[in-house]
Amino acid sequence: ENEWTVLLPAEIHPAGPESIADIATTVSRDEYETREQLLADADRFDAVITRIEPIDREFIDEASRLRIIAKHGVGYDNIDIDAATENGVLVSNTPGVNSCAVAEHAITLLLAVRRELLRADRAVRAGRGDGYEVVTDEFGTDTVGLYGYGDIGSEVASLCSGLGMDCLVYDPYVDGSELSNYATNVDTTATLFERSDAVSVHAPLTAETRRDISRRELELLSPSGILINTARAEIVDRNALVSSLETGSIAGVGLDVFADGPPSQDHPLFEYENVVLTPHIGAQTTDALTQMSVESATDVRSAYDG
Ligand code: NAD
């Protein structure tokens, strides 16, 4: 009778739902054909476990029984926090459990772009003998600028140090004393971009970070500079990014995140050779998916227990 009903807007690893099977039944979003049908039934749910699917005000207002929105992951920019707060709905996330996965992915993108891996792969597949044209720089001499030094950014710094790269950090909420000894603090985005060979983005999407990386910053990167974004697309001004590639004012880009879901075939970034794109898979390792599922389910149990 006092069992909870938990909405899953997207499938998650079964370990989490199984761990709360004694107190909760999960319902897949797929059981509803339309958004209207889901909204009409919204007052059935005590909890939601969401990945990146939007949980907006309209749903929260309709969901009169809702007690918790558990984010499976870290960045909760897909959740209307104001609406949740006004309705007394808790919002939780699963900090730290995906930081190794995402940090490794950021480094993978950086190395692939620096050594032009995909261009070389395409040459082999096309049977072209132009391997000699793929002359790159070594990443071991790079200084990597980290925009954001939380769980993921600090993990990237430690991986960089293992690969011989130096790190600079721009994070207004972290002071120099909190940095590991292989990272150096800078005070402005301008300094970060001016002094780095590659910049990797690891901040949340907030009013402050939205389009904070603009034409001005990108122009300060050197022509051999690289931008890696595994955080949120909206932090970087996309038009500015495309025009930096067009004018050759940066050398390459690696992206795991896109503003409106997967990019369409006419996405302007597809025109450039040294761009590596992945479909938001930074946290998609078996370990991270299992842990995010279990942790978000544990958050639901805590809310259930009060
Ligand atoms: P975190 O909260 O541990 O760290 C975020 C850091 O960003 C903090 O140190 C914070 O002080 C800093 N920051 C805040 N505002 C800033 C600003 N204006 N400029 C620079 N730094 C700023 O979070 P995390 O676990 O490191 O994750 C970072 C982001 O990565 C998440 O918010 C999420 O959007 C994204 N993410 C992406 C994936 C993926 O699959 N690609 C997976 C997990 C997280």
In angstroms, the CA 69 to CA 83 distance is 11
- How distant, in Å, are the alpha carbons of 2, 70, 91 from that of 22? 11, 18, 22
Cβ of 274 closer than 6 Å to ligand 1, yes or no, is: no
- Please report the DSSP string for 124-167 in residue order: HHTT--GGGG-----GGGPEEEEE--SHHHHHHHHHHHHTT-EE
Nearest CA to ligand 1 atom 14: 203
- 99-114 vs 117-125: helix crossing angle, rounded to 10: 60
In angstroms, the CA 238 to CA 200 distance is 15
Indicate the pTM of the whole model: 0.96
Which element (helix H / strand E) includes 277? strand 275-277
| Residue 129 alpha carbon to ligand 1 centre in Å | 42
Mean pLDDT taken over the chain: 95
pLDDT of residue 262: 80
Confidence tier at 1 by pLDDT (50, 70, 90)? low
Burial of 259 (0-12, 13-18, 19+ CB in 10 A): exposed
| Residue 277 alpha carbon to ligand 1 centre in Å | 20
ipTM metric: 0.99
Cβ of 150 closer than 6 Å to ligand 1, yes or no, is: yes
| Residue 274 alpha carbon to ligand 1 centre in Å | 25
Cβ of 152 closer than 6 Å to ligand 1, yes or no, is: yes
Q: Tell me the β-bridge partners of 170.
A: 147
Digit-coded pLDDT (tens) for 79-90: 999 999 999 999
Residue (of 213, 214, 233) closest to 52 by Cα position:
233
Digit-coded pLDDT (tens) for 16-67: 999 999 999 999 999 999 999 999 999 999 999 999 999 999 999 999 999 9
Of 93, 102, 178, 191, best ligand 1 pocket probe by most atoms within 8 Å of the beta carbon: 102
